[in-house]
């Protein structure tokens, strides 16, 4: 009995105890059970199958409680798979959640109302939707991270405004989870926010002004998909606590604000891969804690500072020198100050790189005698003011800034410029005062509303009929005798210009003298102009004769200038074609002339159906000689050729026919009869490379494999190397492009059309001065100056490599602006492996990955070849080496090479011909040269470079 009582007492005593241990809030318990049910591998939790008391004791693994309520679940890194229950937010006392690095999938449940939740880590799972009320009522939230979940992948999501109620929030991390749209303003009102990580999303728009003054330490906004976050960096300079700013891979623009010096805690500032312009401010590089500064791939300018920062990267900008610590030349410094005055328009910021404004690629800048003489930026959308630094460019002759949005006044020290002849600032928004220029300067200021009725203009002066307001000098001044000096060429032009407005004096004698002087001056000018003109012409002729520009040296040994060419030996002309022709040719053995009659009959009298292409200077026909041999005949429109040009034509042929290389299309012969000029080439059955790269779908061709492309690149490189250096004379092709690269049966390539540019039947002068080439392939310095070296060919070769990699044509007006010019776009993406991967021609198929190393080596080579500065481009020999080592890795192709180059000459001719003919598929109706007249440049003297480059879109 006593024992029974004792037991009862014990029971009574301990009852409350058992009540505590067995009574986890049933609601919380139910949610945990639901959670376990949703998992595909719940055993990993090691929760008891039968227990009903997670808050224990003993506590269930990974669960923490306070009293009967669950406050934490910590299951990070367990490899759990499955879905979370919908009613998850009924764990209303939850404070801390560690779900990161599992394999949870399905929708995130709403966390709405978890008012005790402080920490929530859900990083690296497979959650695929986030409900719109997820963040509502999370009033205690301190840190939340949802990184690396494919949330709302198809449409993206933006951060709901509900989060604004989480006023304690310190860390918000949403890296790579499909956040789209602009950065929400309200984040700028969250007082405790110290770490904001939003990298690898699709954010756009600008840094909100509300972010000013945020006490952020970490700001990661890097690598946004699409255009990225844009606008300036000014807001950054107000974040005094900032230590880590990762803003790379966006579209930030404008200069780096000097006020960045206020961010004294900055240790890592990564601004690479944006569109930043301007100079690197001193305040940036003197930041006391800065350890890592990345600036590469922007449009930054000026000198590279010599800094003591541990990690400093700066490549691919528009700096003037490539080494740190080297100052820019005075001219460049002055021009960059001018650019700063007009807020660094992006186009100019990318074009005005290097330390030589006269290198030929500075848009809107022309030089004479190696110094800047013309600034030509009319209608360029410039805003800002005209920098006084222009006053330091003492060779300036013309300044053309009309039709912009320039404000402020004209700097006074422009009047210091001794050579200045013209300033056109018409149609801007300038304000007075207008400085007093000397009479030799023509000043055009009309269309500046605030300069109307300039005070310096005498009221009696009638408005000039051309609304040209000349320099504000007196109509009649004692300077007149001055302008009579023959040396003062400019001042006389200005009299000439404004003479009508100046007949105003009452003093007849003075007037008479003036008229006489003016007449004399005009006469003098006319004589001067005549002299200059004659001299120019003489010069032109002499450059024509000189071989300093090594384009096509004449064959001077040929005294009578008649072409007597030896029979082409088969071994020289790559394949059996030569020997076949020498057999087939029925006329004039020992000479390359072929009768027009023969060519007429072989092309069915130049029948339209035999047209295979239209080159810059004629139509190309395919033809078949009577013995079955196939040829390509180029018929030049030559009716305007003079005798002299005719001689030149023959002399050129003499040279061209000596150029023999297996990777150059062989000139087999020619015809001159009456007005006919015909060139006969070997026929390449697979036609132009461009067809196989850009039109293979339309023409139902097989897309080229990477192996074929490599071999084609190598062939072209070898042909060009030969042209450049292996012959005694140095040849420059001037128009290398994929439509001038022809393919043989085995897809081995030959370069065609070399040297023919000089044969343009456009009248004598233009033959000499013709600027040849095709937009998209033109080396910038050649496009601008017309001066040509072998490096211009290397540039074009680089563009061809880009075409081989991307399958995109060098220039396509149908593409968006960003990618229109392959060369400039490619230069931007080539160093980013991912972007390069995306740019690789999809026609290369699924094995992209294994060839990617090879592709990226070629991409490097392409970038190298198309370097902006000619001296940075390699010789073709270098390209041959790089490509040969890549092509060698494809061992099986060696036998292929045998088949191609070791043409079996023992094989009966007719059999060879048959092989060629059989190869033609029904699809190939347009063989040979593509239409390359479309992109060709009309003859233009080199001096017209400005209009030329602007047409080029750079």
In the bound complex, what is the minimum distance in angstroms from residue 82's beta carbon to ligand NAG? 9
Which one among 61, 208, 378, 391 touches ligand NAG, defined by CB under 6 A?
Answer: 391
- The answer, yes or no, to whether the previous bond of 57 is cis (omega within 30 of 0) is yes
What distance in Å separates the CA atoms of residue 68 and residue 224, rounded to the nearest whole number? 45
Are the CB atoms for 814 and 576 separated by under 8 Å? no
CB atoms within 10 A of CB 676: 15
3-state secondary structure (DSSP) of residue 88: helix
CB-wise, 123 or 861, nearer to ligand NAG? 123
In the bound complex, what is the minimum distance in angstroms from residue 322's beta carbon to ligand NAG? 21
CB-wise, 385 or 445, nearer to ligand NAG? 385
What distance in Å separates the CA atoms of residue 371 and residue 365, rounded to the nearest whole number? 10
CB-wise, 102 or 610, nearer to ligand NAG? 102
Q: Is 191 in the site for ligand NAG (CB under 6 A)?
A: no
CB-wise, 158 or 591, nearer to ligand NAG? 158
Are the CB atoms for 680 and 670 separated by under 8 Å? yes
DSSP 109-143: PP-TT-TT--EEE--SSEEEE--TTTTTT-TT--E
Site for ligand NAG in 815-854 (CB under 6 A): none
CB-wise, 189 or 566, nearer to ligand NAG? 189
Q: Is 194 in the site for ligand NAG (CB under 6 A)?
A: yes
Which one among 160, 205, 208, 953 touches ligand NAG, defined by CB under 6 A?
Answer: 160
Are the CB atoms for 625 and 564 separated by under 8 Å? no
Active-site annotation holds for 509: no
Q: What is the 3-state secondary structure (H, E, C) of 583-623?
A: HHCCCCCCCCECCHHHHHHHCCCCCHHHEEEEECCEEEEEE
Which one among 132, 329, 383, 766 touches ligand NAG, defined by CB under 6 A?
Answer: 132
Which span (53-61, 388-396, 883-891, 919-927) binds ligand NAG, by CB under 6 A? 388-396
CB-wise, 35 or 270, nearer to ligand NAG? 270
CB-wise, 211 or 731, nearer to ligand NAG? 211
CB-wise, 51 or 79, nearer to ligand NAG? 79
Q: Is 112 in the site for ligand NAG (CB under 6 A)?
A: no
3-state secondary structure (DSSP) of residue 384: strand
In the bound complex, what is the minimum distance in angstroms from residue 337's beta carbon to ligand NAG? 10
Which span (123-131, 247-255, 449-457, 597-605) binds ligand NAG, by CB under 6 A? 123-131
Are the CB atoms for 82 and 40 separated by under 8 Å? yes
Which one among 21, 167, 264, 311 touches ligand NAG, defined by CB under 6 A?
Answer: 311
Q: Is 413 in the site for ligand NAG (CB under 6 A)?
A: yes
In the bound complex, what is the minimum distance in angstroms from residue 450's beta carbon to ligand NAG? 20
What distance in Å separates the CA atoms of residue 2 and residue 10, rounded to the nearest whole number? 12
Site for ligand NAG in 268-297 (CB under 6 A): 291-292
3-state secondary structure (DSSP) of residue 352: coil
CB-wise, 265 or 769, nearer to ligand NAG? 265
How does DSSP classify residue 321?
S
Euclidean distance between the first and the last CA atom of the chain, given in angstroms as a whole number: 107
3-state secondary structure (DSSP) of residue 505: coil
Q: Is 392 in the site for ligand NAG (CB under 6 A)?
A: yes
**What is the per-residue binding string for ligand NAG in 68-87, x denoting contact by CB under 6 A?**
-----------x-x------
In the bound complex, what is the minimum distance in angstroms from residue 126's beta carbon to ligand NAG? 6
Residue 406 β-bridge partners: 384
What distance in Å separates the CA atoms of residue 260 and residue 699, rounded to the nearest whole number? 57
Q: Is 129 in the site for ligand NAG (CB under 6 A)?
A: yes
CB atoms within 10 A of CB 127: 22
Which one among 72, 86, 90, 143 touches ligand NAG, defined by CB under 6 A?
Answer: 143
Q: Is 152 in the site for ligand NAG (CB under 6 A)?
A: yes
Are the CB atoms for 729 and 557 separated by under 8 Å? no
Token pair of 391 as six digits: 């006053």
- C-alpha angle 560-562-563 in degrees, rounded to nearest 5: 140
- The answer, yes or no, to whether the previous bond of 433 is cis (omega within 30 of 0) is yes
Site for ligand NAG in 216-255 (CB under 6 A): 217-218
In the bound complex, what is the minimum distance in angstroms from residue 129's beta carbon to ligand NAG? 5
CB-wise, 40 or 586, nearer to ligand NAG? 40
What distance in Å separates the CA atoms of residue 632 and residue 624, rounded to the nearest whole number? 9
What distance in Å separates the CA atoms of residue 201 and residue 229, rounded to the nearest whole number? 10
Are the CB atoms for 357 and 330 separated by under 8 Å? no
Instruction: Determine the angle formed by the axes of helices 790-806 and 876-888, rounding to 10 degrees.
Output: 30
Q: Is 395 in the site for ligand NAG (CB under 6 A)?
A: no
Q: Is 648 in the site for ligand NAG (CB under 6 A)?
A: no
Task: Judge residue 940's burial from the number of C-beta atoms within 10 Å of its C-beta, 0-12 exposed, 13-18 middle, 19 or more buried.
Answer: middle
What distance in Å separates the CA atoms of residue 135 and residue 141, rounded to the nearest whole number? 9
In the bound complex, what is the minimum distance in angstroms from residue 572's beta carbon to ligand NAG? 54
Kind of pairing between the strands at 422-424 and 268-270: unpaired
Residue located via tokens 């030049």? 636
Are the CB atoms for 453 and 433 separated by under 8 Å? no
Q: Is 466 in the site for ligand NAG (CB under 6 A)?
A: no
Q: Is 416 in the site for ligand NAG (CB under 6 A)?
A: yes
Are the CB atoms for 69 and 93 separated by under 8 Å? yes
Q: Is 128 in the site for ligand NAG (CB under 6 A)?
A: no
CB-wise, 95 or 735, nearer to ligand NAG? 95
Q: Is 100 in the site for ligand NAG (CB under 6 A)?
A: no
- Does residue 418 have a known ligand-binding role? no
Q: Is 721 in the site for ligand NAG (CB under 6 A)?
A: no
Kind of pairing between the strands at 383-385 and 365-368: unpaired
Are the CB atoms for 791 and 864 separated by under 8 Å? no
Which span (174-182, 314-322, 386-394, 715-723) binds ligand NAG, by CB under 6 A? 386-394
Candidates 715, 735, 793, 930; catalytic one: 735
Which span (339-347, 348-356, 410-418, 591-599) binds ligand NAG, by CB under 6 A? 410-418
Which span (14-22, 385-393, 471-479, 504-512) binds ligand NAG, by CB under 6 A? 385-393
In the bound complex, what is the minimum distance in angstroms from residue 407's beta carbon to ligand NAG? 16
Q: Is 415 in the site for ligand NAG (CB under 6 A)?
A: no
Q: How many of the chain's residues bind ligand NAG (CB under 6 A)? A: 28
Token pair of 572 as six digits: 């020289």
In the bound complex, what is the minimum distance in angstroms from residue 524's beta carbon to ligand NAG? 33
Instruction: Determine the angle formed by the axes of helices 790-806 and 822-829, rounding to 10 degrees.
Output: 70
Active-site residues: which are they?
A: 735
Residues belonging to the binding site for ATP are 634
Residues in contact with ligand NAG by CB under 6 A are 79, 81, 103, 105, 129-132, 143, 152, 157, 160, 170-171, 194-195, 217-218, 291-292, 310-311, 388, 391-392, 411, 413, 416
Binding site: what residues are annotated?
634
């Amino acid at each position: 009995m006593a024992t029974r009582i004792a037991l009862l007492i014990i029971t009574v005593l301990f009852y409350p105890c058992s009540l505590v241990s067995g009574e986890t809030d049933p609601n919380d318990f139910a949610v945990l059970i639901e959670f376990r049910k949703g998992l595909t591998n719940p055993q990993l939790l090691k929760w008891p199958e039968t227990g009903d008391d997670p808050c224990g004791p003993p506590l269930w693994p990974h669960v923490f409680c306070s009293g009967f309520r669950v406050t934490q679940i910590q299951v990070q890194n367990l490899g759990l798979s499955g879905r979370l229950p919908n009613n998850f937010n009924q764990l209303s006392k939850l404070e801390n959640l560690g779900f990161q690095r599992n394999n949870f999938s399905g929708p995130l449940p709403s966390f709405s109302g978890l008012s005790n939740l402080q920490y929530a880590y859900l990083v690296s799972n497979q959650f695929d939707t986030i409900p719109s009320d997820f963040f509502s009522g999370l009033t205690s939230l301190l840190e939340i991270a949802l990184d690396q979940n494919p949330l709302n992948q198809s449409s993206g999501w933006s951060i709901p405004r509900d989060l604004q109620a989480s006023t304690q929030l310190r860390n918000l991390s949403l890296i790579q989870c499909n956040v789209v749209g602009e950065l929400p303003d309200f984040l700028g009102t969250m007082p405790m926010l110290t770490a904001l990580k939003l990298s690898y999303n699709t954010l756009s728009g600008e840094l909100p002004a509300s972010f000013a003054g945020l006490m952020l330490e970490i700001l990661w906004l890097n690598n946004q998909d699409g255009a990225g976050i844009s606008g300036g960096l000014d807001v950054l300079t107000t974040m005094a606590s900032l230590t880590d700013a990762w803003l790379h891979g966006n579209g930030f623009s404008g200069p780096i604000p000097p006020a960045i010096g206020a961010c004294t805690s900055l240790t890592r500032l990564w601004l690479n891969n944006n569109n930043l312009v301007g100079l690197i401010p001193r305040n940036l590089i003197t930041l006391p804690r800065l350890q890592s500064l990345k600036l590469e791939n922007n449009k930054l300018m000026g000198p590279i500072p010599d800094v003591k920062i541990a990690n400093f990267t700066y490549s691919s900008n528009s700096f003037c020198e490539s080494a740190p610590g080297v100052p820019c030349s005075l001219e460049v410094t002055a021009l960059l100050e001018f650019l700063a005055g007009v807020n660094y328009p992006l186009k100019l910021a990318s074009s005005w790189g290097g330390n030589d404004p006269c290198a030929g690629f500075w848009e809107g800048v022309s030089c004479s005698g190696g110094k800047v003489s013309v600034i030509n930026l009319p209608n360029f959308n410039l805003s800002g003011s005209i920098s006084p630094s222009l006053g330091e460019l003492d060779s300036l002759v013309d300044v053309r800034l009309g039709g912009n949005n320039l404000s402020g006044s004209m700097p006074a020290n422009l009047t210091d410029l001794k050579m200045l002849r013209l300033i056109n600032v018409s149609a801007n928004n300038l304000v007075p005062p207008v400085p007093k220029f000397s009479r030799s300067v023509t000043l055009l200021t009309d269309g500046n509303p605030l300069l109307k009725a300039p005070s310096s203009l005498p009221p009696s002066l009638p408005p000039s009929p051309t609304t040209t307001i000349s320099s504000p000098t007196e109509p009649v001044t004692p300077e007149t005798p001055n302008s009579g000096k023959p040396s003062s060429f400019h001042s006389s032009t200005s009299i000439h210009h404004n003479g009508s407005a100046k007949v105003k004096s009452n003093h007849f004698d003075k007037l008479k003298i003036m008229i006489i002087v003016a007449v004399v001056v005009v006469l003098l000018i006319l004589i001067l102009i005549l002299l200059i003109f004659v001299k120019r012409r003489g010069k032109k002729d002499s450059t024509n004769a000189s071989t300093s520009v090594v384009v096509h040296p004449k064959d001077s040994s040929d005294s009578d200038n008649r072409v007597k060419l030896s029979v082409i030996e088969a071994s020289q002309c790559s394949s059996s074609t030569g020997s076949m022709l020498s057999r087939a040719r029925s006329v004039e053995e020992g000479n390359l002339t072929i009768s027009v009659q023969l060519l007429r009959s072989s092309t069915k009298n130049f029948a339209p159906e035999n047209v295979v292409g239209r080159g810059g200077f004629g139509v190309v026909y395919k033809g078949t000689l009577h013995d079955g041999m196939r040829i390509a005949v180029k018929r030049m429109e030559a009716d305007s050729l003079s005798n002299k040009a005719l001689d030149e034509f023959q002399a050129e042929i003499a040279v061209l026919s000596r150029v023999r290389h297996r990777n150059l299309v062989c000139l087999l012969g020619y015809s001159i009869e009456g007005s006919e000029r015909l060139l006969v080439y070997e026929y390449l059955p697979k036609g132009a490379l461009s067809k196989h790269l850009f039109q293979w779908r339309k023409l139902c061709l097989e897309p080229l494999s990477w192996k074929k492309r490599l071999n084609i690149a190598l062939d072209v490189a070898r042909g060009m190397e030969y042209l450049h250096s292996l012959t005694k004379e140095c040849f420059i092709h001037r128009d290398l492009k994929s439509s001038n690269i022809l393919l043989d049966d085995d897809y081995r390539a030959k370069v065609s059309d070399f040297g023919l540019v000089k044969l343009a039947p456009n009248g004598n002068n233009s033959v000499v001065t013709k600027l040849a080439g095709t937009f998209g392939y033109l080396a910038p310095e050649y496009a601008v100056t017309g001066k040509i070296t072998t490096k211009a060919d290397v540039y074009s070769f680089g563009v061809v490599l880009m075409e081989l990699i991307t399958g995109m044509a060098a220039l396509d007006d149908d593409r968006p602006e960003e990618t229109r010019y392959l060369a400039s776009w490619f230069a931007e993406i080539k160093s980013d492996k991912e972007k390069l991967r995306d740019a690789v021609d999809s026609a290369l198929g699924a094995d992209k990955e294994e060839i990617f190393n090879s592709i990226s080596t070629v991409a490097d080579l392409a970038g190298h070849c198309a370097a902006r500065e000619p001296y940075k481009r390699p010789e073709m020999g270098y390209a041959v080496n790089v490509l040969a080592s890549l092509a060698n890795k494809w061992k099986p192709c060696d036998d292929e090479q045998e088949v191609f180059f070791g043409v079996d000459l023992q094989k009966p001719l007719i059999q060879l011909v048959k092989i060629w003919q059989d190869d033609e598929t029904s699809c190939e109706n347009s063989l040979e040269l593509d239409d390359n007249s479309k992109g060709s440049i009309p003859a233009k003297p080199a001096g017209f470079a400005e209009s030329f480059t602007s047409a080029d879109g750079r």
